[in-house]
A and B are shown apart, each in its own frame.
Chain A
Amino acid sequence: MTGVWRTLLKRIADRPTSISALSSVLAIVSGLLVGLVIMLVVNPSDALPGFVTILFGAFNAGMTSLGNTLYFGVPIVLTGLSVAFAFRTGLFNIGATGQLTMGAFTAVYIGVNWGFLGPLHWVVALLGGMLAGAVWGSIPGFLKAFRNVHEVVASIMLNYVAMYMNTMLIKQLIYNQQYARALSPQPSALIPTWFLDDIFVGSSINAGIFIAIALTVVLHIILNYTVFGYELKSVGFNKDAAKYAGMNEKRNVVLSMTISGALSGAAGAIMFLVAGRHLEPVNQLLQEGFTGIAIALLGLSAPIGVFLAGIFYGNLEQGGYYLQLFDFMPEIIDIIIAVIIYFSALSLFLQKFVAGYIRRRTGEEVELQEGSEIK
């Protein structure tokens, strides 16, 4: 057994990416452990069954919870892709929530008003949401490229502008006075469920999952098999070197933020083009944008990794829902996510920890990809 373990460690030692992946797993384990400790403090007798409920959130109620896991995972996959895509160009898109809000409003506006589109209605609403997110994302891109404004600061300001603008536009344009919320999109604007509701009976799943899969594949191809993707990553690794090599680094920064914004806009559209969910004029930032940061980090900014991490989040979210059977509050999930982000911030430390362990067990030196993620 120890022999197998050592061979495995040796193989890991040969590939720096797998060390990063291991540090991601360690971050998740740390977050879950903190969650477990809190549950033990609050209610020791139910802590263990509660913890199992979180871990296997998707399997609490058969196909229903499995479907809902995918349903809740989709927006997070998209915001995760959004943040990850900007990461690859060396940009920190903390503005996903603002882009998501603009996308959601635009999609719902089209959903409420443009019924003449018929069967294309939901497609146009989704594209409109992506366009709005793209425009909102491009602003910090332009400011960064041409005015040297830090994209984090610009995005934070734009998050709040988007939040208030959303409140204002809902009240002016698509207000349902009676319920103090936005009007419902017409049925033709809702993301179709196709055959999915027959498979995942009783869940809210819709075609959003196919959109998420398609976008994951597209981004994977862009980043790994195209010149454009290569340029984006080069700008992310070393802006000056990329410029010296003849790449237009300003254009790439703007494009990266625009695409990133479009992905968050898609998340917003998919979140609110469903029956029973309404935009509200409440001046609150939508948390999905921030969760996307965690998912991007855990997925190591690679589209497929982000997709898996996003679905894992859906699993936790479902776990939180069923956790209420045990008298625990679902906010424990948010605590776990926050701790996971914190340990992701310590990823370099975690990587050194893993490398040190491997060195002790196998005597092999390990090379770390220092600063491989974001700077």
Chain B
Amino acid sequence: MSDTLSVLYFLFPLVIASMVPLALVALGALYSERSGVINIALEGIMVMGGFVGIMMIRYLENATVLPPQVIALLGLLMGAFAGLLFSVFHAYASIHMKSNQIISATALNLFAPALAIFVARTIFLSRRIVISGNYRIREIPVLSDIPVLGELLFTRAYLSTYIGVVIFIVLTIVLYKTRVGLRIRSCGENPHAADSLGVNIYKIRYIGVLTSGALAGMGGVIFVLSFATRFDGTVVGFGFLSLAVLIFGQWHPLKILYAAFFFAAMRVIASTYSGIPVLQAINVPSEIYRMLPYVATLVVLAFASKSSRAPRAAGEPYDVGKR
């Protein structure tokens, strides 16, 4: 029993660490798609956010004596800001210019790593941006003394986890319980109806895309702070995986959480299964676990597309004259 529990204590924080960026970025994608713009640029925006955020953190580490968690917070905010700015390109092309949203997103996906690596190599002569700090919180006074829960939730945790939880709850409430949330959802379902009721489609869609940009940018920083002490120009497919989370979660916040948990668990199993006796006995190659989320998403797509919950107008430029 105590063995199982210690495995759980070991795995749970790892799963949470993967789950937080996945769920946050998928929530951003939800905002964008609910407003009517498909955003497959999440990968690139995460890279851009991670790049700028980590540059900031590196600078703060060297130039100031701020406590680590303050530096982490500033880095997260900076990443979110960079992601927001970067997503303006996608918003402008797909909303104002009525461009093909896949093409402009592809451009962002290619631009971000190229710029990040170019700048890093120009400044540091290596594609790696190394940060010194370890941003894991070892334990929180009082809270980590709670039996079981304290061990699971308040030891070896990251600041980003708690921030992520708050953002996720707030943004879910905004989307479903406020006027702007209703408007966002209406723009992705039936923009003409929304327009006839005086909703500014362009403005709402900008809000949707920029929100996804900010969340993806922050997600990029979270990714780096949670898994490494350096940034080398990639978030190893987390942006696209978040898109899978969104689809597997059927465009619904709570289901997105389940999906993110499942996908995160698969990732963790893939990298730790040799340490888990049961899985070691089965001896399935780790790539199978890594593949599983994508295959599962394909299966869901194949069997649920007829009853899909995808926003109906997502991906279509808004044209006033078209009814």
Contact = CB atoms under 8 A, between A and B. Distances in A.
Given A42-B122, A154-B301, A157-B244, A345 B40 contact: no
Interface string A271-297: 000000000000101010010010001
B18 interface: no
A342 interface: yes
B104 A156 contact: no
A297 B102 CA distance: 12
A341 B298 contact: no
19 contacts: A38-B118, A94-B106, A147-B305, A149-B302, A157-B297, A165-B291, A168-B288, A329-B117, A329-B121, A334-B118, A337-B110, A338-B107, A338-B108, A338-B110, A339-B107, A345-B103, A347-B99, A348-B97, A348-B98
Interface in A39-95: 42, 92, 94
From B103, B104, B306, name the one whose CB has the most chain A CB atoms within 10 angstroms.
B103
Interface in A20-53: 38, 42
B111 interface: yes
B118 A332 contact: yes
Given A161-B291, A168-B288, A349-B97, A297 B103 contact: yes
Given A147-B302, A339-B107, A164 B102 contact: no
B58 interface: no
A290 B93 contact: no
A218 B247 CA distance: 38
Given A154-B298, A329-B117, A331-B121, A94 B102 contact: yes
B99 to A, nearest CB: 4
Contact of B243 (A156, A338, A374): A156
Given A92-B102, A283-B236, A346-B97, A335 B305 contact: no
A36 to B, nearest CB: 14
Closest 10 pairs (CB-CB, A-B): A334-B114, A338-B111, A342-B107, A168-B287, A341-B107, A331-B118, A345-B104, A345-B103, A338-B110, A345-B99
B118 A335 contact: yes
Interface of B: 40, 89, 93, 97-100, 102-104, 106-111, 113-115, 117-118, 121-122, 236-237, 240-241, 243-244, 247, 285, 287-288, 290-291, 294-295, 297-298, 301-303, 305-306
Contacts of A334: 110, 113-114, 118
Given A157-B297, A329-B121, 18 more contacts: A38-B118, A92-B100, A143-B302, A147-B302, A147-B303, A147-B306, A152-B102, A154-B298, A154-B301, A157-B244, A158-B298, A160-B237, A160-B291, A164-B291, A290-B106, A346-B93, A346-B97, A348-B99
Nearest to B243: A156
A331 B111 contact: no
Contacts of A181: none
Interface in A317-374: 329, 331-332, 334-335, 337-339, 341-342, 344-349, 373-374
Interface of A: 38, 42, 92, 94, 143, 147-149, 152-154, 156-161, 164-165, 167-168, 171-172, 283, 285, 287, 290, 293, 297, 329, 331-332, 334-335, 337-339, 341-342, 344-349, 373-374
Contacts of A172: 285
Contacts of B97: 345-346, 348-349
A149 B301 contact: yes
Contact of A293 (B106, B244, B247, B301): B106
B291 to A, nearest CB: 5
A92 B106 CA distance: 12
Contact of B285 (A168, A293, A332): A168
B42 to A, nearest CB: 11
Chain A contact residues: helix, strand, loop or mixed: helix
B288 A346 contact: no
Contacts of B291: 160-161, 164-165
Contacts of A152: 40, 102
B104 A342 contact: yes
A160 B240 contact: yes
B123 to A, nearest CB: 10
A153 B29 CA distance: 13
A161 B301 contact: no
Given A165-B291, A341-B107, A331 B117 contact: yes
B89 A329 contact: no
A342 B111 contact: yes
Contacts of B298: 143, 154, 157-158, 161
A145 to B, nearest CB: 12
Contacts of A335: 111, 114-115, 118
A165 B305 CA distance: 25
A157 B294 contact: yes
A339 B111 contact: yes
Contacts of A373: 100
B152 to A, nearest CB: 30
Given A152-B40, A332-B118, A160 B294 contact: yes
Contacts of A287: 110
B295 A147 contact: no
Nearest to A167: B287
A171 B247 CA distance: 31
A346 B99 CA distance: 6
A236 B293 CA distance: 31
Contacts of A347: 99
From A38, A161, A164, name the one whose CB has the most chain B CB atoms within 10 angstroms.
A164
Given A329-B117, A342-B89, A342-B104, A153 B302 contact: no
Contacts of A341: 103-104, 106-107, 110
Contacts of B103: 293, 297, 341, 344-345
From B93, B122, B285, name the one whose CB has the most chain A CB atoms within 10 angstroms.
B122
B301 A147 contact: yes
B101 to A, nearest CB: 8
